[in-house]
Amino acid sequence: MRMTASEVTGPADATSMRRCDVCIVGAGVAGLNAAFAASRHMSRDQRIVLVDRRERVGGMWVDTYPYVRLHQPHGMFTAGNVKWTLGRERSYLAAKDEVLDHLEHCLEEIRGSVHVDTYFGHTLEAVDEGSERCRVTCRSATGELLTIHADTVTKAFGFRITPNDPLSLSSSQAHSVSPDSCDVRTGDIAADDRPVWIIGGGKTAMDTAHALITSCPGREVNMVAGAGTLFTRRDRAFPDGLRRWYSGVVTSSFGAEAARRFDGTNEAAVRDWQCATVGTAVTPQTANFLLGVLSDDEVRTIERGLHSVVMDYLVDAVDRDAAVDLQFRDGDTTTIPSGSWIVNCTGYVAKNEHPYEPYLSAGGKVLSIQTRSATLHLSTYMGYFMTHMLMLGKLRDTPLYEFDLQEMFRASRTAFPYALLTVAQYNLSLMYDALPTKVFTQCGLDFDRWYPLPRRTLATARFVMTHRREREHQRRSLDIVRERFDIRCGPLRHDQTAEVDGH
């Protein structure tokens, strides 16, 4: 007998059972894009079950630091093509609460097309793929089991961003905190006047430096920036006003050109080209590029407000008499006053170990959006395009390259972004041939939408004319990356089975 979505068997403290057409685990922006894409292929009486371990929709945005803002103009951070209702200018960078409100709005918009049941506060325990459907087992925060029977399952784990804890340091005289547990604009840290040391050189570090410098003018703010981070210059990627017509670099054109230049060995040369084309930085050296974006104004504000920048990695902070010694990887030390603040802004990408899992299960019913078998450069894009591919039955027969983002990031941070962009170009080319054109024209995530229609049309026309013949170069480059760094980077083998079921 077919079980309806509202049926419950057994007493309240036993296993609850639900039946749905699509189960999505993860209610962040990747999961919402998966839900949006799935809803385009479903009738009004079909049902999606959305599960998340958090108590609300939003994913990493629920946990992240309170002064975080979007990298890109807010209109291009959404689920599918759901429009924002914020009423701000196009270039506005939405703040955390505004993003969370919009993601709630996206969920309600999806509910306008298909039934969506949400189970927040539930942690995934297992996904068992059967011959006809899948069984998803979850557990609530109070211990009750929830079993979901679904035709297809999407594990929308994305980049699995988790909050940073304060650094564990030997010193008892320094205040060790992290942005995710301490708003640097308020409370004890804002009321104090002793120096702040930001540990990290990525986007979180820049957000933290900017927040401190603008909210506490004159405060001594220092940065330990590791190898340094290269950013995309927002003024070039998203020029405002009339400059959208004649200035800037259309995002898809930049990605295509990066993949065209990268041959699997020449990341230093591609990086030099990027620096000259769209790059910007606060630090004197920049070894990493993690797709972050900074404006000219942000760079100037941070540069002027920083007291010092140390291009090294912090190892420990050790008490010495009435002061604290910061110890660095290269053997140098710096003495700072007792009571100084040390803010952990080290990176979130590939921070934790996660077992390998293919993006498509052996039976073809489970889609997994995560870093060990990535197919595109952003989890939002994977949620949107990969779900369309799944719902149309195109994933198994399309030879997409899977990319072990976690291992590549650890093998070479310099080559990492260009290999990732090449994977994205290669797979988008294959998807373009497999999917209806409307999937692309209706994608609200497309950064090219920042530009007027004539410029977008030119970029699209060039892609359509060249994407097939450029695949061979991209494939060779990716095969070289696989051999050079000994990472997983190639077509998915359909005899593979997942090594992990848990969330």
Find the radius of gyration of the CA atoms of the chain.
23
CATH class of the domain comprising 175-228+281-344: alpha beta
* Helix or strand (DSSP H, E) at 469: helix 453-485
Q: Is the pLDDT of residue 10 over 50?
A: no
Distance of alpha carbon 89 from alpha carbon 414, whole angstroms:
35
Equal CATH topology for 16-162+351-491 and 175-228+281-344: yes
Q: Is the pLDDT of residue 1 over 50?
A: no
- In the chain, what is the straight-line distance between the N-terminal and C-terminal CA atoms, in Å? 30
**Which are the contacts of 461, defined by CB distance < 8 A and separation ≥ 6?**
none
Q: What integer pLDDT is reported at residue 498 of this predicted model?
A: 43
pLDDT tens profile 399-447: 999 999 999 999 999 999 999 999 999 999 999 999 999 999 999 999 9
Q: What integer pLDDT is reported at residue 351 of this predicted model?
A: 64
Confidence of residue 15 (pLDDT cuts 50, 70, 90): low
* Domain map (residue ranges) of the chain: 16-162+351-491, 175-228+281-344
Q: Which two tokens stand for residue 417?
A: 């972004």
List, in sequence order, every residue forming a beta bridge with 119; answer none if it has no partner. 51
- Helix orientation angle between 96-111 and 29-39, rounded to the nearest 10 degrees: 20
Residue with tokens 């211990």: 143
**E strands in 353-472:** 366-370, 401-403
Confidence of residue 335 (pLDDT cuts 50, 70, 90): very high
Q: What integer pLDDT is reported at residue 495 of this predicted model?
A: 59
Confidence of residue 150 (pLDDT cuts 50, 70, 90): very high
Q: What CATH code would you report for 16-162+351-491? A: 3.50.50.60
Confidence of residue 340 (pLDDT cuts 50, 70, 90): very high
Q: Is the pLDDT of residue 3 over 80?
A: no
Distance of alpha carbon 292 from alpha carbon 239, whole angstroms:
16
Query: Measured between alpha carbons, how far is residue 181 from residues 177, 216, 345 in Å?
Result: 7, 19, 11
Distance of alpha carbon 136 from alpha carbon 153, whole angstroms:
8
Q: Is the pLDDT of residue 99 over 70?
A: yes
**What is the pLDDT averaged over residues 71-97?**
95
Q: What integer pLDDT is reported at residue 159 of this predicted model?
A: 84
Confidence of residue 350 (pLDDT cuts 50, 70, 90): low
List, in sequence order, every residue forming a beta bridge with 148; answer none if it has no partner. 18, 136
Q: Is the pLDDT of residue 374 over 60?
A: yes
Write phi, then psi, for 411 (nearest 5 degrees).
Answer: -75, -40
**Which are the contacts of 85, defined by CB distance < 8 A and separation ≥ 6?**
102, 105
Residue with tokens 């035709």: 151
Q: What integer pLDDT is reported at residue 349 of this predicted model?
A: 67
Q: Is the pLDDT of residue 473 over 70?
A: yes
For residue 293, is it left (φ>0), alpha (ψ between -120 and 50) or beta?
A: beta
Q: Is the pLDDT of residue 501 over 70?
A: no
**What is the pLDDT averaged over residues 452-481?**
96
Confidence of residue 16 (pLDDT cuts 50, 70, 90): confident
Q: Is the pLDDT of residue 484 over 50?
A: yes
Q: Is the pLDDT of residue 292 over 70?
A: yes
pLDDT tens profile 238-289: 999 999 999 999 999 999 999 999 999 999 999 999 999 999 999 988 888 8
Q: What integer pLDDT is reported at residue 493 of this predicted model?
A: 79
Confidence of residue 61 (pLDDT cuts 50, 70, 90): very high
How far, rounded to the nearest angstrom, does the alpha carbon of residue 258 sit from its chain's CA centroid?
20
Q: Is the pLDDT of residue 168 over 70?
A: yes
Q: Which amino acid is at 188?
A: D
Q: Is the pLDDT of residue 359 over 70?
A: yes
Q: Is the pLDDT of residue 4 over 60?
A: no
Q: What integer pLDDT is reported at residue 353 of this predicted model?
A: 80
Write phi, then psi, for 378 (nearest 5 degrees).
Answer: -130, 145
Q: What is the pTM of this model?
A: 0.92
Distance of alpha carbon 55 from alpha carbon 269, whole angstroms:
46
Q: Which amino acid is at 38?
A: A
**What is the pLDDT averaged over residues 130-134?**
93
Distance of alpha carbon 219 from alpha carbon 195, whole angstroms:
7
Q: Which two tokens stand for residue 26?
A: 């993860």
